[in-house]
Structure 1
Amino acid sequence: MDVPAVKVLVSNEADDLVGHGLLSRLQHVEVVSYDPNVEELTSQQSTASVLLPPYRSSHRPIRLLGQFGALKMVQLLSAGGDEWAADVPKGVVLATARGAHAGPVSEWVLSAVLTQLRQWPALVRFQDKSVWAHRKFEADTLAGKRALILGAGAIGTEVARRLKVFGASSTLVASRPRKGVLGADSLPEVVSGHSVVVITVPLTDKTRGLVNSEFLRLMDDNAILVNAGRGKIVETDALVRELASGRLRAALDVTDPEPLPVDHPLWAQQGTVISPHSARTVPGTNRLCYEVAVLQIAAFLRGEQPSNAVEHD
């Protein structure tokens, strides 16, 4: 008896074409192409059981959710599901590509920390003025530093592994304690004593505004805040005040608001390095995301709960 193919809707954009090939290898799957910019699905597309938002600007197809007749799963290519959680209908599985981003994002974190410690922003400004800046700046070393990592998932643990190579030690914090990882309740006692604080947690009701004025006040003088998670985890106004005073430094891949307006005061802070939500954006990351997505969808088709499934309303 033939098993009917499950229709999986996959973006037709260039970054998503790799997914067509990977998903077509699954048994009993029909890959259906779609344009994530359209306002209306075709009759064939609307019968798909699984939707994959595009690799870039994945929120675009949210408006199409109401057009599906039998949607059973939304498989994201991002590490977090916060952009979709409020819109995916109850009863539809929502899964992420958690794990695919660990390498690229942890590499960005290391580059951001080293950029700040070695004073590359200041050096570039000197270079722009053709100034040989010998002994005109104060660099620091990562060796011997302590880093507090908020988030002990794939990205956070990979950041800790890479920091160790440079002679730095890490304190990992997650929502609940486990072997080698502290629970979030211990944060007020452990923030101080770390030269670097790295954010890799997902955005949830509990992490929204977690890094507030009190958290920032507890950070050591001249410490570096590195945000590779979500902008709303940090209270922006409180961060701007600390940066403007010169007491803290920051490296931000995400901000609140995002994109950051042209006239926002974060741009003007000398102790800040900002990248445009691009920590994962290096060649091959899209393939890594689709490889994880294939595993999640395969598990779902076997009747299992995907390991990256996230709770949503």
Structure 2
Amino acid sequence: MLDWLSLRLPIVRQDGSFVIPREDIDRLTDQLGRVICISGTGELEWQAIKWESVRSDTHQLVVRVTDHVCIQGSPARCGQNDNVFGSFDVLDCFHRMVSFASHYLAVDLPRDPGHWQCRRVDVTQNYDLKVPAIVRQALLYLKQSEGGHYQTSTSSETIYWNQRSRLRSGKAYHKGPHLRKQVKASQAQACSNRLDLSDRLLRLELRLGGQFWRERATKNWVKDMSENSLYDSVVRAANTPGAGQAAWKTYLMIKSEGMRQAQSKTGKRSWYRHLKILHQAGFSLAQLQSPTVVPIVRYRTIELGNPVRSWEELEQRARAA
């Protein structure tokens, strides 16, 4: 389901006209609370409009009005009090959140998604692993899944991948204890039967942050570099064509035999002269290093199966077991 949406509406269009009436904007900025910073001498240093909760006890939506109207929160709380299962329909979640914010602000916000910008989306899936012991075992395996550009961190019984990344991050946790904690804090409602059923669930979450959506909101061009263009850049970086060709041969030797082997076959002065040319051509040290492959000694497989989409489906699986 969609567990979180962050939406932003630019108030002023590119042609200078307003998306919503100017008098409504002034009224909103006047009625919303402010965060004020006052210096030790009593002077006002700065002030900012704070995030305003929209019945946060049930819907967990917050809004803010500056040069944009910003709405963020859990769409699963709009129209239903269930944060375990919800909708994957982005447009449906968008319309529900905008409707709640419009009603709270007493302003007719645009319902056309083309006027809005997306700044964050959290997508979750629930997997039925039958018993809590298997869920805990799966989390134990996932703690050791660090690799590549992804870094793993843990907090209590929750596992995070790239927790502070503004591009994308992931999370895995046992839904049963999490739901009990929310019920105790009056943040969710669930009967005893559903609490027992949630103990079977492993929950995985993907967060697509602001950087992910900003990169896709503009035209980004991918430049393919061929061998010929790389060769030309090396020759242009050298003082003479001959020096560029020699540096290119050293580069090919590095790629085929590795850094140490290529250095042993090249004179000291020539080696550092060629490296200087390659660096001037735009090659980094990481590009010149040969990748190191670390063999995996032991594979651990977690069979998740198809995700569970509703309480009814989870109850059917529990009865079948």
Provide the TM-score with structure 2 as the length reference: 0.19
More helix, by proportion:
2
More strand, by proportion:
2
